[in-house]
Amino acid sequence: MLSVLEEGPGGLAALRRVPDAQWLSALAVDAVTLSLRAADSLELVWWVDPGVGAVELEDAQYLVGEGPTPEAAARGCPMVVPDLEEESPGRWPILLAHRAGMGSTLRAVAAVPVCVGRALVGVFAAYRRSPGPFLPGVLRTMGAAADAVGRQVARGPLEIPELHRDILHQAAGAVSVREGITTAEAAEFVRARLFTAGRDLIGSAEEILGHADREE
């Protein structure tokens, strides 16, 4: 499966050469996501999520700033959680509470750093609905997949697709004007507002953008 990535042009578009179903069956999971590390955030840039809520769980981690994906990025090592429901509430208190509120059905997650050379550039995460450990073979495949993803990113570093959370950045721009603050401060403001709203991230960001029309 991974040799398909090496043939043909690199960049994130290469990930689409592997059929969605094959990503999931090779790793024996229900969804996979890829986030790349920007200056102050992890940006979701690619995913295979057939409606199981992995994107929403990534959004939740982005919003509260904790969880397997941010922690894998911060520590630079894989984070494997066999069951989010059995996880100690003290580990990621806000996320775990938020997850319960979301009614997420995803139970197990493995978040693996994606590196170019020795530098961490992102996190490849795999989600499963059934709780339980990840078998060593699956974890090895996941490591190999993360390496392959890193190689593709390195082959096309300028080819960044549209960001899943681009509307949050637009909202931060709008808020910076409205409140007379910097975009960095506005980004924090937007995250806080979205968190208190407690609803879906993209819809709430659209509301913050206010009278600005929605992009298609």
Partner 1 sequence: MLAKERPQHFSPQYPLVQAVLDLADSSVGTTVQLERACRLFAGFFEVAAAGGLLADEHADPFAVAGTSPAARRLVLAELESVPGPGRDTLRSRRPVPHTVLDHPIARVRWPGWVAAALAAGFAAAAAVPIGQGNQPVAAIVLLRDVPAPIDLDVQPTLGALSAAAAGLIAGRRLECQERTIAQLHHALTSRIRIEQAKGILAERHGIGVADAFTLLRTHARSHRMKLADLAGRIIDGDRPRLTAGPG
The residue (of 17 and 91) whose beta carbon lies closer to partner 1 is 17
Strand partners, 43: 36
Written as one letter, the residue type at 101 is G
Piece of 14-22, 31-39, 64-72, 87-95 that binds partner 1 (CB under 8 A): 31-39
Q: How far is the CB of 194 from partner 1 (least distance, A)?
A: 14
Piece of 18-26, 67-75, 132-140, 208-216 that binds partner 1 (CB under 8 A): 208-216
Piece of 3-11, 14-22, 62-70, 99-107 that binds partner 1 (CB under 8 A): 3-11
Alpha carbons 62 and 42: distance in angstroms, whole number: 7
Beta strands, E only, the chain: 31-37, 42-48, 79-81, 108-116, 119-128
Asked if 207 touches partner 1 (CB under 8 A), the answer is: no
Asked if 215 touches partner 1 (CB under 8 A), the answer is: yes
Site size toward partner 1 (CB under 8 A) is: 45
Asked if 158 touches partner 1 (CB under 8 A), the answer is: yes
Strand partners, 42: 37
Residue 176 phi, psi (nearest 5): -60, -35
DSSP class of 40: S
Residue 115 phi, psi (nearest 5): -120, 150
Piece of 53-61, 74-82, 133-141, 205-213 that binds partner 1 (CB under 8 A): 205-213
Strand partners, 80: 110
Beta strands, E only, 16-84: 31-37, 42-48, 79-81
The residue (of 105 and 183) whose beta carbon lies closer to partner 1 is 183
> Where does this chain bind partner 1 (CB under 8 A)?
3, 6-7, 36-39, 41, 43, 116-119, 121, 147, 151, 153-154, 157-160, 162-163, 166-167, 169-178, 183, 209-216
